[in-house]
Amino acid sequence: MLPKGPEWRCKPWETTYPTKKPLHLYYRDPLECIQSILYHPLVKDFITFSPFRLYESAAKTMRFYTEWFSGDVAWSMQVGFFFLKKSTFSLLVIGPASRGRDPPWGDTLIR
């Protein structure tokens, strides 16, 4: 059996001008909608959030672009963020305090 989706909610809608009938706003929580889509058993195995490169053969002579995550922008964003995190981490590890000298801002370096 498939899981239930997010529940509809209703609240009265106040208006500046009088109306013949009271207005009601029907809505769903957007976060619950996104969670429902991402964790749905029929689609959860087909959703990916990591960039990839798809080639015709092992020789990597022809590249296929099938969706946004197979493109260069997604790849460079992910790889660039990874190296940014890695360089920040190495800055913390190889900083002045780890070489035996105190940094000019005091001994507040995270090790």
Give the model's pLDDT for residue 58.
Answer: 87
Are residues 59 and 40 part of one domain?
Answer: no
Structural domain including 40 reads: 1-47
Give the model's pLDDT for residue 11.
Answer: 96
In the chain, which stretches have pLDDT less than 70?
80-111
Which one, of 44, 38, 49, lies nearest residue 81 by Cα?
A: 49
Give the model's pLDDT for residue 50.
Answer: 82
* Spatial distance between the Cα atoms of 51 and 61, rounded to a whole number of angstroms: 19
pLDDT tens for 3-14 read 788 999 999 999
Contact 27, 9 (CB under 8 A): yes
* Spatial distance between the Cα atoms of 94 and 70, rounded to a whole number of angstroms: 35
Gyration radius (Cα) of the chain, Å: 26
Are residues 87 and 70 part of one domain?
Answer: yes
Are residues 58 and 30 part of one domain?
Answer: no
pLDDT tens for 13-34 read 999 999 999 999 999 999 999 9
Give the model's pLDDT for residue 18.
Answer: 92
First and final C-alpha spacing in the chain = 50
Report how many domains make up the chain: 2
Are residues 18 and 63 part of one domain?
Answer: no
Give the model's pLDDT for residue 7.
Answer: 93
